[in-house]
Amino acid sequence: MRDKLDITMNAEGNRNIRGSVGHLFDGSVLSVAAAGELTSPLVLMRQLGLAVGADNISDEERKLLSEQVTLTSERALRLASSLNMTAVTQQALPLEPVNPLSVCRDVIHELTPMFSAYGREITLQSRARVPLTVANRNVLQRILLAFGDNALFYGSKKHPIQMAITGRGDRVRIGVRDYGPAVPIDMWSQLEGRVSRRALAPLSSRPQASGVGLITAQRLAEKMDSIVGIVRHRDGATFYVDLNVSGQMSLL
């Protein structure tokens, strides 16, 4: 594990994040930060749970509230599960040829109920045929789910969140584009600083995205030798993961 986060700017001006700050991102520190991140959905679930039990609501409202409790708990569980995997997985993860299109479809299928409940939409843009990539399917799903959860509150009905698969030579990029407050240019540095101070505050202008999910995604990507990065836009951001194309099929 590296001692320093290596943030490089590529030819397109995007920021790739490699490595991690081992002593900062150890399990206990991240757990403390995660506790803060998980407080928000737990507060919401508690309030919704109390509201479900109230006498003065209609059956229709009760059904809606129950659905919100379920979806909020699923969002929290996704984060908790990824954090657990990050904490317990010390070694590199087993890799295999993975069809990114199939993974993206699964992720969108999982996220769509939550997005719909918030009046948001998430779409997939891709060519019909995409090369196989070298990845761990489960981890790749978690990374994209983290990007999706991060983007949830920054889309609008006018601008759906876009998940896009693009080929780049021997790499495939899967990006999640949102439309919302711009992220600071030194976002990753801010995140690591906040985690290290055990004072994780929301990412600038993005209260629903304190960054634990993104840090988790970065750590998981590192375990399968892929790169997580961000493209800043005036009206939002694209979080992406770059994956190596699998050469296995070329051997046949």
Partner 1 sequence: MSDSKSVMVIESEPWLGDHYQRQLESQGFSVVRASHAYAAIDLVDENPPSAIVMSLLLDGPGALNLLHELQSYTDTADIPVIVCSSMADLDIDELRPYGVRRIINSTMMHPSDIVATVRSVLL
What residues line the site for partner 1 (CB under 8 A)? 39-40, 42-44, 46-48, 50-51, 54, 56-57, 68, 72, 118, 153, 180-181, 202, 205-208
Nearer to partner 1, 46 or 127 (CB): 46
Minimum CB–partner distance for residue 43 and partner 1 (Å): 5
Minimum CB–partner distance for residue 152 and partner 1 (Å): 11
The CA distance from 142 to 124, in Å, is 17
Nearer to partner 1, 65 or 243 (CB): 65
Nearer to partner 1, 41 or 131 (CB): 41
If you write DSSP's letter for every residue of 207-225 in order, what string do you get? Answer: TT--SHHHHHHHHHHHHTT
Nearer to partner 1, 18 or 177 (CB): 177
Minimum CB–partner distance for residue 48 and partner 1 (Å): 7
The CA distance from 132 to 177, in Å, is 22
In contact, 87 and 31? CB cutoff 8 Å: yes
- Residue 140's φ and ψ, nearest 5 degrees, are -60, -40
Minimum CB–partner distance for residue 224 and partner 1 (Å): 33
- Residue 81's φ and ψ, nearest 5 degrees, are -65, -40
Minimum CB–partner distance for residue 42 and partner 1 (Å): 8
Burial 4-16 (b: 16+ CB within 10 A, else e): ebebeeeeeebbe
Beta-sheet strands, E only, within the chain: 6-9, 15-18, 96-98, 122-125, 133-135, 161-168, 171-179, 227-233, 236-245
Nearer to partner 1, 69 or 132 (CB): 69
